[in-house]
Chain A
Amino acid sequence: MFDNFPLWPARASTASGNVDALFIFLLIVSGLMTLLIFTALVYFAARYRYRRGVSAEQIEGSIPLELTWTTIPFLVFLVIFAWGAVVYFKSRTPPRDSTEVYVVAKQWMWKLEHAEGQREINELHVPVGQDVKLIMTSQDVIHSFYVPAFRMKQDVLPGRYTMAWFHATKAGTYHLFCAEYCGTQHSGMIGAIVVMEPAQYEAWMSGGSTGPLSATGEKIFAELGCATCHRTDTQGRGPNLQGVFGKPVLLEDGRTVTADENYIRESILDPGAKIVSGFKPVMPTFQGLVSEEQLNALVAYVKSLSQPVATPTSTAAATQQDNPKAAGSQVQ
């Protein structure tokens, strides 16, 4: 990929093919359209150039023609739209059991943390053939996580999570760019995605972990005293957090929301915003008391409480219970 004059970007994820296919389709359609119009222009220009004594023939217009060139483009447009929408939906809907990587963007670097606990800066190691979901937030301004080889891009916003996912198909090292302008070193906020064969990846994974992120989260959970209210029985002042994640939560004001990452995040930073039905709004805000990394760990921990890593059957059951919409609407 470091050739000097490439004309097509590397293709290294399942999404690449989808995007390329649509792109090629569009190239053909608009190529034909351009050809048609240019040919007509050139032909008319040459054929009907001014000649002494020959004057133009006045034509008012033609309703059938107008209708034709209104409807046909419109129909073509609808096809493009629908196809584009399908590709988009796929790229926005992470498969359910992807490995998760937490991304914190800041001026001007990427901090990445694997659910297993490995931390990286400006570099992300992932295995071939695995769904990887990115849960991203920013510490300051808007950034954008862009991997051209994966045809994947998602803005990273301060104050909330945005998600993206990919499924790498080819080992190699690919560009990671920040695609949303974020200040002085915007163009320096780049990095590399290292896609590895599973075996190598295992080897890489075995080094340098401080334990899974959810374990870090559990520690923070205890340190911050969350556990005093959120107990594993029903006696706590706060709701039992076991199995909350991914489920619909009934709120005090009658609304129901899905407990996704953004909901957990909000529950910690702005507990008053959504009160769980049957509870009092006594939870203090942790705004300013936890860093983005700690927050990610807490979220990972709360999520881990809903993943009974027990038998395969129970996983399947849990999956079935899931609100089918939940997975789709997680990506905001």
Chain B
Amino acid sequence: MSDSTLIGLHHQEEHHPELLHHFAEAQQQRDAASLGMWIFLGTEVMFFGGLFCAYLIYRRAYFGDFGAASKSINATLGATNTAVLICSSLTVVLAVWAAQTARRSLLLISLVITMLLGLVFLGIKADEYKDKFEEHHVPGASFSFDHVPIPGHPDQYANPRHAEIFFALYFIMTGLHALHMIIGLGLFAWLLFMAWKGHFTPEYHTPIEIGGLYWHFVDIVWIYLFPLLYLIDRHP
């Protein structure tokens, strides 16, 4: 930051078109943007943190019921979705690299694949929701979870009220995660548009980096959601 100020004035002339007036130089703007995103992700962590707190407390209190409820969701789909997200994270990181090294077509392809994978994720998710809906596992008036044995205790049935709490948390957590995915898709559509227009150069590709951070974060949330929601007490 320091030496930039010495050349403070004529810096203005060589402004990159994307450099906002109140920044002295491009590096400062980049640093500000990435720090801003990281802090925003901190906010997001705490946002999901409240849910994780609720989850932990009830899982501890109603372990068996949570196990039974968890068993009713399709772990294979969950695992597939985890893999899908991981692949999308790879393509995101490729996109960033492509932008850094001015590989325009790789950039475009990576962005497109990322979005496709995001859509696949949401599709699988929707399918899961559909199953839950048909099985009357959606909390609310038509919820039913009668006579489902607790894993490891075949003669004991899960308490439907407690299973309902599991499903409530399941839908809220995965629902909020899916909402983040949808927002992410919107973000990436915009990035794709900008990339297609040729806005990004090795000097200026902060939006790609920032968008990538967001996408990776959403991936990390899922990395925790998967075992916590799908894999409680699975073993026979």
Residue pair A281, B153 in contact (C-beta under 8 Å): yes
Residues of B within 8 A of A281 (CB): 153, 155-157
B52-79: contact bitstring with A at CB < 8 Å (1 yes, 0 no)? Answer: 0000000000101000000000000000
Residues of A within 8 A of B64 (CB): 272
Kindly state whether residue B114 has any CB partner on chain A within 8 Å. Answer: no
Number of interface residues of A (CB under 8 A): 6
Residue pair B155, A273 in contact (C-beta under 8 Å): no
Residues of B within 8 A of A272 (CB): 64, 156-159
Interface centre among A270, A272, A280 (most CB of B within 10 A): A272
Residues of A within 8 A of B62 (CB): 273
Residues of A within 8 A of B156 (CB): 272, 275, 281
Number of interface residues of B (CB under 8 A): 8
Residues of A within 8 A of B153 (CB): 281
The residue that B159 contacts in the complex, of A270, A275, A280, with Cβ under 8 A, is A270
Q: Which residues of chain A from 16 to 69 have any CB-CB distance to chain B below 8 Å in the complex?
A: none
Residue on A nearest B157 in the bound complex, by CB: A272
In the complex the two chains form, what is the Cα distance from A156 to B156 in whole Å? Answer: 32
In the complex the two chains form, what is the Cα distance from A280 to B154 in whole Å? Answer: 11
In the complex the two chains form, what is the Cα distance from A57 to B62 in whole Å? Answer: 66
In the complex the two chains form, what is the Cα distance from A281 to B152 in whole Å? Answer: 13
Report B176 CB to chain A, min CB distance, Å. 27
Report A235 CB to chain B, min CB distance, Å. 20
Residues of A within 8 A of B159 (CB): 270, 272-273
Residue on B nearest A270 in the bound complex, by CB: B159
Report A229 CB to chain B, min CB distance, Å. 16
Interface centre among B64, B156, B158 (most CB of A within 10 A): B156
The 8 closest A-B pairs by CB, nearest first: A281-B156, A272-B159, A272-B156, A280-B155, A281-B155, A270-B159, A272-B157, A275-B156
6 additional A-B residue pairs with CB within 8 Å, beyond A272-B64, A273-B62, A281-B155? A272-B156, A272-B158, A273-B159, A275-B156, A280-B155, A281-B157
Offer 14 A-B interface pairs, CB within 8 angstroms, sorted by A: A270-B159, A272-B64, A272-B156, A272-B157, A272-B158, A272-B159, A273-B62, A273-B159, A275-B156, A280-B155, A281-B153, A281-B155, A281-B156, A281-B157
